[in-house]
Amino acid sequence: MARKYGTRGNRRQQIIEAAMKAFAAKNYDGASVSDIADAAGITKRAIYRYFSTKRELFYAVRNEVYAAIVNNLWSDLPPAKDFNELADALMRNHLRFMLENPEMARIVVNTISEAATREFQENIEALLDERAEEIEGLMQSGIEEGTLDPELDPTFVSWVLVQIFIFLVYMQAYEEDWLIPRGEEAASVLMKPFLASLAPRA
């Protein structure tokens, strides 16, 4: 077999992608380093040149998944006329991405127990805080536009929205029957009553 010598970054990425599929399909315990090596078309030794343990590889996969999900949120957002349209577009973006990458949803769900470790908890808190801050900024403009009730606490509501994003990941990982056939439209159906409930009280 001709061996492919990619650049270092390349090869590392290749291993992470193979590991992502293996961990999603068989979980952490079930996926062996040999499986991952086979899937990536390289030797086990080559994997250990990049990651000293299976756990280290697993953490690299996890970080990659979280970064990919977060980076996708704001990419190619259609122009929105107000906060409601924007929140809807964000949620659709998010759901479309999760539907296209079911293995990522599984990794998120499979790694939630790692939130017990301090390092992960700090990471995820920082990550969610950042998202919540972005949404909070948008909420402020929603309040100024008159689409959102000024009595709402923007910090709290934006935080709740971020949690609903995570819930969607769960629904995707559970292969929820209601969600899958609807595709990204499900995000709008889910969000519509919630956004309506944030309007100023008549």
Partner 1 sequence: MAKQRLPAEKRKQSILKATERCLARKGYYNCTTADIAAEAGITEPVLYQHFQDKRDIVSSLRNEALDDISNYVVRRVVKRKTPLEGLHEAAEAIFDYTVRHRSKMRAYYYSIPELGKGGLRRSPVERLHRLHEAVAYMLEEAQRQGAAVDDMDAPDFAWSFISLVEIVYIANALGLNVPFKQKDAYMDLIDRLLSTIATPARLEER
Point out which residues bind partner 1 (CB under 8 A).
25-30, 55, 106, 109-117, 121, 124-125, 128, 153, 156-157, 159-160, 163-164, 166-168, 170-171, 173-174, 176, 178, 189-194, 196-198
Nearer to partner 1, 70 or 128 (CB): 128
Which two three-digit tokens encode residue 26?
């068989």
Residue 125 C-beta: closest distance to partner 1, Å: 7
Which two three-digit tokens encode residue 191?
């969000």
Nearer to partner 1, 79 or 181 (CB): 181
- Are 108 and 69 in contact, with CB atoms under 8 Å apart? yes
Nearer to partner 1, 71 or 113 (CB): 113
To the nearest 10°, report the CA torsion of 55, 40, 112, 127: 100
Residue 156 C-beta: closest distance to partner 1, Å: 5
CA 176 to chain centre: 17
Write the single-letter amino acid at 172: Q
Residue 48 C-beta: closest distance to partner 1, Å: 20
Nearer to partner 1, 74 or 167 (CB): 167
SS3 152: coil
Cβ count within 10 A of residue 182: 16
